[in-house]
C-alpha cells in the first residue's frame, strides 16, 4: 500500500505537464439529463455525475456494458460462473441497491443481481450517465447507492443513416473465425427522419462459445452465451413536442454443458433462456417556454426458462431431467407510469412535481403464489438560486406501497456553491428507502447444489447518506484546454439492509434476511484533462465497508476495525493523430486487496475465533487502436486484459454469495485480442461531398 502513493503523486502531476500544449476542446460543457429539471451542463448540475460518451464507448472495443464500466472508480463487478451472469457493486453496495435505467425506464431483473446491465444492445447506446449517492426522491426504490442511466441514440434529423459493425475476439487463447470458439459480434442499425416523423431500427447478435472445458466442448468454466438483441423506434418531432414509441427485445441463451460421467456415459446439459420485451411510450412537451411536461409509460415482459436435458452418449438419445428445479419458467411483468412537470416561475426558482406508479407481478414454479407489489409516489423538488453562485435543490417523496408502510416522507437536499470561477462545492444529504423486491420475498431457487428461499417477513431498508465534492478548474490555461481536479467523499448508514444468511432451521438452506446495520464510506480524487487531440484522466479512491463483527459483543476485546478499506487507481488516455485518422486508447485500473473478517469455530475448544481474510488485488488494462478508413469505415483492434488476470485468491472459508464458495474469485478468461470493422453512412455525409 505504501508503494502506490508516490505513483499517485506522479500521475496527478501530469495535468500541468499536458497543459503546456495548445488545443480547442472543453470538458464541462457535456450535457447531463439524469435527475435534472432540464438538460444542463455537468458544471451546473447539483449532482456529481460521470458521463461516458459515445466516443469512449467506441474506443473501448467493448461488447457489453460491463466492459465499458470496468475501470470506473467506485464500481466493481462480480461474475457468477454457475449461472453465467454478472453483478455490479457501487460505492461498496451490492447491485440490488443500484438503479439501472434504459432511457429513464427501470430494467427488470429476475434475481437480485443486475444481469440486465449486460442484456442491452451496446451499439444502440449513445452515452451512459452515472449518478453516485441515493436518488430515492427522484427514482424511488433500489436507488440507494446510485443510478446508471443508459441513454439510447436518437434518430438523425433531416436524412437517413446506416450503422453496421462486426467484431471478432479471442477468448483467452481460444479462437475460431466467425463462429465457434471466441467472441463474435455483428450489429446493424438504421435510422432517419422525414418531415415530422423519425424512426430507428436495429439489432445485434453476440455469440460467446465459453472458455475451457474438455475435448467435447463440455464442462466449460465460462458458460457459452448467445444473445439476439433488437430495438425499434418511431416518433414525431414538432417544434414543441417530441413523442415516440420504442421497443427493446432480448433473447438470451446461456448453456451449461456438463462433462460426461465416465461410469454411466451420461451428461447433463442445462439451458437458461431469457426473453425480455420492454415497451415504452415517451413524451416531451414544451407547453410554454417556462413549462415542460415529460411523460413515460412503460411495460416490461420478462421471462427466464430453465431447461435440463440428460444426454446418453451410448445411443445418442436425450431425455428431460426430473431433478428438483431442473425444469422451470418464471415470468416478471412490470408496469411503470411516470409524469414530470417542470415549471420555471422565475430566473432563480423552478419546481418539478411528479407522480410515479409501478406495478410488478411474478409467476412461476419458483414463486410462492402469484404475488404483486404496487408502489405509488408523489414527489417534488425545487431549484432555488438566490445568487448566481448558489444553487439549492430540496426534494420530498411521498410513497404508498401495497406491501409495506413506507416512511411518511423521504427528504433530500442537494446544494452547489460556486466559490469563484475555479472552485465548485457540492454538499448533499439524502434519506434512502427500498422496499423488498418480489424476488427477495417470494422467489425460491432449488437445484442439486442450492436451496435459496425468499422471506416474506423482510423489513424495508432505509439509509441516511451524506456526500460532498470540491472541484477545481485550473486557471490561466491556453485557449481550448480544460483541466479539472476533484475531491469527493461519502458516508452511508443503512438499517435493515437485505442480504443472504443460512437458515436457522437448516444449514443447507439460504434465506434472505435483514442485517441490523451496514455502512460505507470513502473518498475519490480525480484529475481530468481534455484538449483537441488528448483526453486523459487519473484517479484514486479509498472505500471502506462496514465490518459487522466490530460491534459484536462476543468480539469486543478483539478491537476489530469498524471499516475494511480497499484502494483503487484508474487511468484513461486517448490520443488522436488527426493527420492520419488514428486514435489510441489505454484503460487501466488497479483494485487493491479487499480485506475481511470472519468468525470460525475452533474444533478443539468449541469457541468462535476471528480470522482475517482477503480477496487478492489485481491490475486490469486494455489497449485499443482505431483507424479511419476512407470516410465511412473505421478499423479497430486491441488487447484486453493485458496482465492476463483470470481469478483472484480468496482466503475466506465462508460462502461469498449464494452461488460462489469461498474459493478463488473468477475474473476473466484471460488476455484476449480483437479486431473490428465499423461502417457508418448518412445522407448528411453524402451531401457534404
The DSSP secondary structure of 382-416, one letter per residue, reads: EEEEEETTEEEEEEEEEEEESSS---S-EEEEEEE
Q: CA triplet 198, 202, 204: central angle to 5 degrees?
A: 160
Residues contacting 484, CB < 8 A, separation 6+: 27, 28, 471, 472, 473, 474, 527, 528, 529
Is a pLDDT exceeding 70 seen at residue 481? Answer: yes
With 50 as the cut, is the pLDDT of residue 16 above it? no
Q: Which domains does the chain have, with CATH numbers?
A: 4-688 (2.40.170.20)
Range with the poorest average pLDDT among 257-266, 305-314, 656-665: 656-665
| Contact assessment for residue 524 and residue 74, using Cβ atoms and an 8 Å cutoff | yes
Secondary element (H or E) of residue 570 = strand 563-577
Half-sphere exposure of 152 (CA within 13 A, CB side): 29
For the segment 356-360, the average pLDDT, to the nearest whole number, is 93
CB–CB of 41/27 below 8 Å?
no
Counting residues of the chain whose pLDDT is more than 90, the rounded percentage is 50
| pTM (2 d.p.) | 0.89
- Distance in angstroms (rounded) separating the CA atoms of residues 250 and 258: 25
Give the pLDDT band (50/70/90) at residue 62. Answer: very high
Q: What is the mean pLDDT of residues 490-508?
A: 79
Each residue's pLDDT tens digit, 187-228: 999 999 988 999 999 999 999 999 988 877 888 889 999 999
Q: Which residue has the cell 434504459?
A: 102
User: pLDDT tens digits for 125-167?
Assistant: 999 999 987 888 888 877 888 899 999 998 877 789 999 999 9
Bigger pLDDT: 671 vs 662? 671
Amino acid at each position: 500500500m505504501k508503494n502506490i502513493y508516490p505513483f499517485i503523486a506522479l500521475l496527478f502531476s501530469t495535468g500541468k505537464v499536458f497543459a503546456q500544449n495548445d488545443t480547442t476542446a472543453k470538458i464541462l460543457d457535456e450535457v447531463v439529463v439524469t435527475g435534472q429539471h432540464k438538460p444542463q451542463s455537468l458544471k451546473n448540475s447539483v449532482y456529481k455525475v460521470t458521463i461516458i460518451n459515445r466516443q469512449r464507448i467506441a474506443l473501448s472495443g467493448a461488447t457489453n456494458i460491463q466492459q465499458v464500466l470496468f475501470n470506473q472508480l467506485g464500481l466493481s463487478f462480480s461474475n457468477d460462473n454457475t449461472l453465467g451472469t454478472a453483478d455490479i457493486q457501487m460505492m461498496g453496495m451490492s447491485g440490488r441497491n443500484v438503479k439501472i435505467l434504459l432511457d429513464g425506464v427501470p430494467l427488470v431483473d429476475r434475481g437480485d443481481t443486475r444481469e440486465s446491465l449486460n442484456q442491452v444492445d451496446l451499439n444502440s447506446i449513445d452515452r451512459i450517465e452515472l449518478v453516485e449517492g441515493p436518488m430515492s426522491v427522484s427514482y424511488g426504490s433500489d436507488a440507494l447507492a446510485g443510478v446508471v442511466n443508459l441513454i439510447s441514440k436518437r434518430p438523425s434529423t433531416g436524412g437517413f443513416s446506416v450503422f453496421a459493425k462486426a467484431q471478432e475476439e479471442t477468448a483467452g487463447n481460444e479462437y475460431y473465425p466467425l463462429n465457434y470458439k471466441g467472441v463474435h459480434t455483428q450489429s446493424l442499425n438504421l435510422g432517419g427522419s422525414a418531415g415530422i416523423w423519425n424512426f430507428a431500427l436495429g439489432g445485434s447478435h453476440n455469440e460467446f462459445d465459453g472458455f475451457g472445458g474438455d475435448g467435447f466442448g463440455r464442462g466449460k468454466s465460462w458458460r457459452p452465451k448467445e444473445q439476439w438483441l433488437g430495438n425499434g423506434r418511431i416518433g414525431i418531432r414538432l417544434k414543441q413536442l417530441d413523442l415516440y414509441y420504442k421497443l427493446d427485445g432480448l433473447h438470451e441463451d446461456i448453456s451449461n454443458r456438463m462433462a460426461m460421467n465416465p461410469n454411466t456415459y451420461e451428461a447433463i446439459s442445462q439451458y437458461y433462456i431469457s426473453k425480455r420485451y420492454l415497451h415504452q411510450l415517451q413524451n416531451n412537451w414544451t407547453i410554454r417556454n417556462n413549462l415542460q411536461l415529460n411523460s413515460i409509460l412503460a411495460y416490461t415482459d420478462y421471462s427466464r426458462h430453465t431447461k435440463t436435458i440428460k444426454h446418453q452418449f451410448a445411443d445418442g438419445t436425450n431425455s428431460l431431467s426430473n431433478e428438483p428445479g431442473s425444469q422451470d419458467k418464471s415470468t416478471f411483468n412490470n408496469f411503470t407510469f411516470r409524469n414530470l412537470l417542470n415549471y420555471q416561475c422565475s430566473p432563480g426558482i423552478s419546481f418539478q412535481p411528479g407522480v410515479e406508479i409501478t406495478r410488478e407481478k411474478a409467476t412461476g414454479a419458483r414463486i410462492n403464489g402469484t404475488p404483486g407489489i404496487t408502489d405509488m409516489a408523489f414527489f417534488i423538488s425545487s431549484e432555488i438560486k438566490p445568487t448566481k453562485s448558489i444553487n439549492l435543490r430540496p426534494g420530498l417523496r411521498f410513497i404508498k406501497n401495497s406491501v409495506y408502510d413506507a416512511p411518511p416522507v423521504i427528504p433530500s437536499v442537494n446544494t452547489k456553491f460556486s466559490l469563484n470561477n475555479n472552485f465548485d462545492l457540492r454538499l448533499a444529504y439524502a434519506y434512502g428507502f427500498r422496499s423488498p423486491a418480489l424476488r427477495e420475498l417470494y422467489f425460491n431457487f432449488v437445484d442439486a447444489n442450492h436451496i435459496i428461499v425468499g422471506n416474506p417477513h423482510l423489513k424495508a431498508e432505509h439509509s441516511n447518506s451524506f456526500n460532498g465534492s470540491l472541484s477545481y478548474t485550473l486557471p490561466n490555461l491556453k485557449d481550448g484546454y480544460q483541466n479539472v481536479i476533484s475531491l469527493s467523499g461519502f458516508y452511508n448508514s443503512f438499517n435493515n439492509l437485505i442480504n443472504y444468511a443460512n437458515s436457522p432451521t437448516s444449514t443447507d438452506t439460504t434465506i434472505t434476511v435483514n442485517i441490523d446495520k451496514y455502512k460505507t464510506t470513502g473518498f475519490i480524487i480525480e484529475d481530468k484533462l481534455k484538449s483537441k487531440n488528448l483526453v486523459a484522466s487519473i484517479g484514486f479512491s479509498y472505500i471502506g465497508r462496514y465490518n459487522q463483527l466490530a460491534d459484536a459483543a462476543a468480539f469486543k476485546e478483539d478491537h476489530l476495525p469498524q471499516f475494511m478499506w480497499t484502494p483503487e487507481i484508474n487511468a484513461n488516455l486517448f490520443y488522436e493523430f488527426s493527420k492520419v485518422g488514428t486514435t489510441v486508447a489505454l484503460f487501466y485500473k488497479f483494485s487493491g486487496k479487499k480485506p475481511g473478517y470472519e468468525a470460525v469455530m475452533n474444533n478443539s475448544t468449541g469457541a468462535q475465533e476471528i480470522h482475517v481474510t482477503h480477496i487478492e488485488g489485481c491490475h486490469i488494462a486494455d489497449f485499443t487502436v482505431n483507424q479511419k478508413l476512407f470516410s465511412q469505415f473505421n478499423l479497430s483492434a486491441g488487447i484486453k486484459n493485458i496482465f492476463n488476470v483470470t481469478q483472484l485468491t480468496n482466503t475466506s472459508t465462508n460462502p461469498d454469495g449464494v452461488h460462489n464458495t469461498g474459493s478463488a474469485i473468477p475474473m476473466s478468461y484471460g488476455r484476449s485480442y480483437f479486431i473490428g470493422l465499423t461502417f457508418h453512412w448518412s445522407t448528411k455525409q453524402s451531401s457534404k461531398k
